[in-house]
Amino acid sequence: MYIGGRWVDSVSRATYQARSPASGEMIATLPEGTREDAQRAIAAAREGTERLARLSVWERAKLCARVADVLERHKDELARTLTLDQGKPLHSEAKAEVDATVAGWRNAADHVKWLETSVIPVEDPHKRVLTIRQARGVYAVITPWNFPLNIPTEYLAPGLAAVNAMVWVPAPTTSVVAVKLVECLEEAEVPAGAINLVTGPGPVVGDEIVAHAGTDAVAFTGSSATGEHIARRAAGKPLLLELGGNGPTLILDDANLEQAANAAAFGAFFNAGQVCSAAERILVHRSVHDEVANRLVDHATHIQLGDPFDERTQMGPLNNQPVAEKTDRHLADALARGAKVLAGGSRARGWPTDLYYQPTVLTGVARDAMINREETFGPVAPLIPFQTDEEALAWANDSTLGLVSAVFTRDLSRAFWFAERLRTGIVNVNDSTNYWELHIPFGGVAGKRSGVGRLGGRHTLYEMTDLRTICLDVRRLDQG
């Protein structure tokens, strides 16, 4: 673990083994952190805030840019470690995630320099009111295993740029690549205590940094259930929570079907479906249902499963048994409620581990099926036919989740009709639910279980800072 600028073992000396989801082989031994380790990291972060406070905005921007330079130099090693640890294909996905990670640090360097605030007109002629952005202090940051380089960067880079010190708990199943990332931060000479890494079980080290009085705010990406638990444990602290989704994708009768099917396939199968914005419900007008189904089946049956280091591989294994078991449960429930398998439908056989899953296409999914109600997080494309726009909207909004949706139509008025009524934080028109760029605001909608706040570019900087209002009486200043 990395605490206060030093690499340390757990105080308990306990360790756990990291294994490749693709081969099952042990790839590293990691410290199993304790609550005492988390407390040490919080204390180190508190000291780190004092070092960071001495850096000007331009110095912090240069620091973030320096991190990006170091990451760029180590991009091949980072990509290979990412594939080994997470299981995603090296050539088609891991290298792209490393590129996004580099861009995330460069973006933070750019955005923090132009984080302008306002002078507010007021009634009193002797008053001048202005606002400034200030750090919140020590952040607890907890991140998942699906994008174990890019998602941490979404918090660590703007958090550092905004002068917050952080205690970071990565997912246990992808902590090997987390160590590699922190090695790069150390090489870039990030001040001691500014970013601290604690590895180990979330219910122990994650819970400690969330609930401890020494952390001032909490940032988390993960499941809705875990996010809600964190919100309770962090009661009273500022929260930035990016939680689950089930990506309703609506394909209307006037859509470009080739474009729509390609985008829906990408939304369902990219990263083996392990994306919070994945197209987990595909609502298709009855008049075009069969054609869309055939196109999706064609996509699913031509995806090349395999060794994630092989250039030919398009989909690697799922990352861990819990996500594979949830996919099993959701499929079994859908079939029990009348759904039919058009392609795939089970784990793939003949691989070193049982985490490989067949790209799956379903049709006839019932409204009360788990796969329609919850986040599956596996490579499944469930098709749901509808007849009218109103019916499609009702189906799409009939969910407790509201992160990202997509609509495919050639009619601008229909596009806006849906975009203004779909209960999701983002609506993509004529593109996949997975479309996003690093500076675009990303997050859920009020009243749903998809999170609080917005990630993305300057929006994360807003979330990870406090707005300070300063009121000056210039008359009294003149009077001395």
Residue pLDDT, tens place only, 436-466: 999 999 999 999 999 999 999 999 999 999 9
Active site residue 463: no
Buried b (16+ CB within 10 A) or exposed e, 62-97: ebbebbbebbbebbeebbbbbbbbbbbbbbbbbbeb
Strand-pairing partners, residue 132, are 468
Across all residues in the chain, what is the average pLDDT? 97
Q: What is the pLDDT of residues 411-434, one digit of tens each?
A: 999 999 999 999 999 999 999 999
pTM of the model: 0.97
Give me the amino acid identity at 171: A
Backbone angles phi, psi at 288, to 5 degrees: -120, 5
| Dihedral sign from CA coordinates of 162, 43, 193, 228 | negative
DSSP 8-class letter at 446: T
Structure tokens at 10: 């757990």
Q: Please, which pLDDT band fits residue 203 given cuts at 50, 70 and 90? A: very high
Nearest residue to 273 (alpha-carbon basis) of 196, 357, 379, 372: 379
| Dihedral sign from CA coordinates of 34, 36, 42, 44 | negative
Reading phi first (left if > 0) and then psi (alpha if -120 to 50, else beta), residue 70 is in: alpha
Distance of CA 203 to the CA centre of its chain: 20
Q: In the predicted model, is pLDDT for residue 250 greater than 60?
A: yes
Number of helical H runs and strand E runs in the chain: 16, 20
Q: Please, which pLDDT band fits residue 479 given cuts at 50, 70 and 90? A: low
Q: What is the pLDDT of residues 334-351, one digit of tens each?
A: 999 999 999 999 999 999
> Looking at residues 30-43, what average pLDDT do you find?
98
Q: Please, which pLDDT band fits residue 475 given cuts at 50, 70 and 90? A: confident
Residue 480: predicted pLDDT: 53
Q: In the predicted model, is pLDDT for residue 409 greater than 70?
A: yes
Structure tokens at 211: 């609930």
Q: In the predicted model, is pLDDT for residue 396 greater than 90?
A: yes
Catalytic one among 97, 276, 374, 463? Answer: 276
Q: Which domains does the chain have, with CATH numbers?
A: 2-243+450-469 (3.40.605.10), 248-429 (3.40.309.10)
- Nearest 10 degrees: CA dihedral of 209, 27, 2, 105? -90
> Looking at residues 161-169, what average pLDDT do you find?
98
Place of tokens 């395999």: 306
Q: In the predicted model, is pLDDT for residue 50 greater than 80?
A: yes
The terminus-to-terminus CA distance of the chain in angstroms comes to 54
Nearest residue to 409 (alpha-carbon basis) of 284, 182, 252: 252
Residues 6+ apart with CB under 8 A from 332: none
Cα separation, 98 vs 427, in Å, equals: 26
Give me the amino acid identity at 329: R
In percent, the amount of the chain with pLDDT more than 90 equals: 98
> Looking at residues 12-26, what average pLDDT do you find?
98
Nearest residue to 444 (alpha-carbon basis) of 227, 216, 158: 227
**Helix (H/G/I), strand (E/B), else coil: 210:** helix
Please state the length of the chain.
480
Residue 102: predicted pLDDT: 98
Catalytic one among 242, 280, 374, 375? Answer: 242
Cα separation, 77 vs 168, in Å, equals: 21
Residues 6+ apart with CB under 8 A from 175: 18, 30, 85, 199
Report the alpha-carbon angle 404-223-422, nearest 5.
Answer: 20
> Looking at residues 200-222, what average pLDDT do you find?
98
Contact 181, 78 (CB under 8 A): yes
Active site residue 186: no
Residues 6+ apart with CB under 8 A from 315: 89, 269, 272, 303, 304, 305, 306, 359, 379
Structure tokens at 422: 């779909």
Cα separation, 459 vs 464, in Å, equals: 9
Q: Which 3-state string (H, E, C) describes 26-55?
A: EEEEEECCCHHHHHHHHHHHHHHHHHHHCC
Residue 338: predicted pLDDT: 97
Q: What is the pLDDT of residues 299-314, one digit of tens each?
A: 999 999 999 999 999 9
